[in-house]
Amino acid sequence: MTLVRGHIVTEEGILENGTVRIDAGRIVEVSASSAGAGAVDVDLQGGWVVPGFIDLHCHGGFGGDFMDATIESYETITGFHGRHGTTTMLATTVTATKPDIDAVLQATAAYRDAASSRGARLLGVHLEGPFISPKWPGAQNPARIVPPNADWLQDWATAYPGLVKQLTLAPETEGAIGLIRELRKLGIIAAAGHTDATYDQLVDAVDAGLNQAVHTFNAMTPLHHRNPGVVGAVLTDARIVAEVIADGVHVHPAAVKLLTQTKTAGNLVLITDAMAAAGLGDGQYSLGGLDVTVRGGVARLTHGDSLAGSTLTMIEAFRFVVQRIGLSVPEASRLASANAAKQLGLGNELGAIRAGAAADLVLLTPELDIVRVYRDGVEIG
């Protein structure tokens, strides 16, 4: 049994100097009353208790890459991001061959089923590509881009039921609309990304079931007042959940603020899009077989100018939208936790501090520095 006191961010609002009691991996009580000093295990002294962060789009961290497809690499990634507040994440691939993607699915299934992780919960896989537009590859390998393939999807769904949680594709490509319909039948998030779609093509895809946009503003047709593009559809269609990399590099703070002012129906989520360099500093790295140079914390293709993922952590994104964009801590918490949980269909289990939910908590100082992170009631160290 663990009892934590602080400003607790709940679905209904803030419980100032309230308490959260956790036991056997669950939240068993959330109270506005302040327990006696001797009864409290952690007193945050005016700090915050927020739900564990959920990252739907992460390629790696601290030297590990999900494309490595090894248990050791996955332990490294989930441990690193877990220490930075992420309690649930999706193993995100890059555009690659089917055998390489198969290997990631196999490794993720084995890692998840082993239930031995001491870091973030690896819920499943986000397939970013290979069904994307060659006009907007970003840091994806153009040589590995292929048209949408329903047979591949069926193979993955049969071999690993429920493991694929999200698939990113270019919805304007031939066969994409049919694949989107199949994804939604399987309960998989269908996301637009690395796409040359027009506004009308994106809306048609949403009508077919597409329900997310990856790293909004990046690798997609931009907003123009006579040609609103993918960005125009994302900003104006409430059915689309928008991801954003809130690091001030991928998206200007003014554009992040625009998203927070237009996506107000629980349809904006913070992501890291982190790569292996996260947590390691400047130097030479690799992403999907492409050389990447990190300089000043910014990752770009060595041979080209495209941004190549990020070195971001979820706590840094959380602080960014509070300190640079001006969101309140509860508003930022929804973007970092509740909205992603809802998109995954796990709003009753994750992303909220309520009795009966998983004891996934991030404990913060008043300045939003991490004190402790709990996943299923166990501290991530």
Chain centroid to CA 176: how far? 23
Name the DSSP class of 247.
S
Is 309 annotated in some ligand binding site? Answer: yes
The structure tokens listed for 123 are 């819920």
Is 218 annotated in some ligand binding site? Answer: yes
Tell me, yes or no, if 273 is annotated catalytic.
yes
Q: Check the CA dihedral 181-269-263-9 and report its sign.
A: positive
Is 149 annotated in some ligand binding site? Answer: no
Catalytic residue among 55, 204, 273, 360: 273
Is 110 annotated in some ligand binding site? Answer: no
Is 128 annotated in some ligand binding site? Answer: yes
Is 81 annotated in some ligand binding site? Answer: no
Q: In angstroms, how far is the first alpha carbon of the chain from the final one?
A: 18
CA angle, 257 as apex, 256 and 261 as ends, to 5°? 120
Is 215 annotated in some ligand binding site? Answer: yes
User: Which residues are within 8 A (CB) of 5 and not within 5 positions of it... i.e. 6 or more apart?
Assistant: 17, 18, 19, 34, 35, 40, 42, 43, 44
Q: Check the CA dihedral 325-327-333-337 and report its sign.
A: negative
For the packed helices 150-159 and 98-114, what is the interaxial angle rounded to 10 degrees?
20
Is 205 annotated in some ligand binding site? Answer: no
Is 308 annotated in some ligand binding site? Answer: yes
Per the annotation, binding residues are 128, 139, 194, 215, 218-219, 226, 250, 307-309
By annotation, the residues acting in catalysis are 273
Indicate the annotated binding residues for Zn(2+): 128, 194, 215
Known binding positions for substrate: 139, 218-219, 226, 250, 307-309
